Amino acid sequence: SIVGATGYSGIELIRILQNHPYVELSMLTSESYAGMKVKKALPFFNIEKELVPFNAKKTAENSDVVFLCLPHTKSMEAAATILKAGSKLVDLSADFRLKDKKTYEKWYGAKHTKPELLKKSVYGLPEINREAVKGSNFIANPGCYPTSIILGAFPAVKSKLVDAGAIIVNSISGVSGAGRKAKTELMLSEAGENIKAYKIVTHQHTAEIEMGIIMGSGNSKVRVSFTPHLAPVNRGILTTINFALKKKISTAKVLELYKNTYCGEEFVRVLPEGQFPETKYVAGSNYCDIGVNVDTRANRLVVVSAIDNLVKGASGQAVQNMNLMCGFEENTGISNIGMLV
């Protein structure tokens, strides 16, 4: 079942799961479109099923796996009910990603009402936490910015090539990252013909970014200065990570490190020297593309990554986690390549 099926993450889940060979969609919930058939609310799907209001107990009783696509702070009570009923749960909100209640409350400005569940959730970035995902029934699906940054950053930090305490990150996101509800700043007349930075060094994903890099690298001294930007495109995240190098090294050697790190990882593509990611090459796909370059003059390493914020940054990764939880092949239903145009 998909809770919040008419938001962007929910829509992407329907798109992916309706072609998944081992999935039958059970309940699709929506508060805005309750009582309406899917094909009327979302005409690009020819699905007769009716959208229903969310009832956590009823949803769990009718589902082997539940995807929660609710706004941050709204998943806490729902997650407790679903887990108690015995369903597997993939939560796409941020409510269970951070393991410390005080850290969550600091960055999200809200009280965490289910702190006892924080230790039970597994952070669902398979490339750094695959075995834990396989053994879990409760996945905290990573955020979009953190996915692009952690995958781009942790190999360099783990190798001790760079200063882990002074990582500078700039990310550019399409407007779908802000959700489907109407907001003034996302109107065409506001967002079009405009690029802006926002929540400079205060973005709520910062704590998750640091946590993920620490998980992947084992280096507890990680500190990130993160500046997100909004661009007038529908989907995609392009991230640039800037490190101070501890020693001189060639781009070829860094590429070798990244290729070795991601050897066997289907959904991370390390690009050849001189080639760098673009959002259009990953749009609609579950891939993360990574390119690297060493600035020999300044003795710095620049890593660029690109993902589709709605797929590898949300729903595609959620299905990747479900596949691992349920014992399916990890790439089932999500192995398609990007859409160039």
Is 144 a residue of the active site?
Answer: yes
DSSP string, 53-108: ---HHHHHHT-SEEEE---TTSHHHHHHHHHHTT-EEEE-SSTTTSS-HHHHHHHH
First to last CA, the chain: 31
- Phi and psi at 105, nearest 5°, equal -65, -30
Indicate the SS3 state at residue 18: coil
User: Residue 181, exposed/middle/buried by CB under 10 A (0-12, 13-18, 19+)?
Assistant: exposed
Beta-bridge partner residues of 292: 303
CB–CB of 289/281 below 8 Å?
Answer: yes
| CA 101-102-103 angle, 5° bins | 90
- Catalytic-role residue among 144, 263, 288, 326: 144
Of 94, 117, 93, which Cα lies nearest the Cα of 4?
A: 93
Of 127, 148, 122, 4, which Cα lies nearest the Cα of 71?
A: 4
Distance CA 286, CA 314 (A): 9
DSSP string, 223-263: -EEEEEEE-SSSS-EEEEEEEEBSS---HHHHHHHHHHHTT
Rg of the Cα atoms in the chain: 20
User: Residue 107, exposed/middle/buried by CB under 10 A (0-12, 13-18, 19+)?
Assistant: middle
Handedness of CA 127, 128, 129, 130 (dihedral sign): positive
**Residues taking part in catalysis:** 144
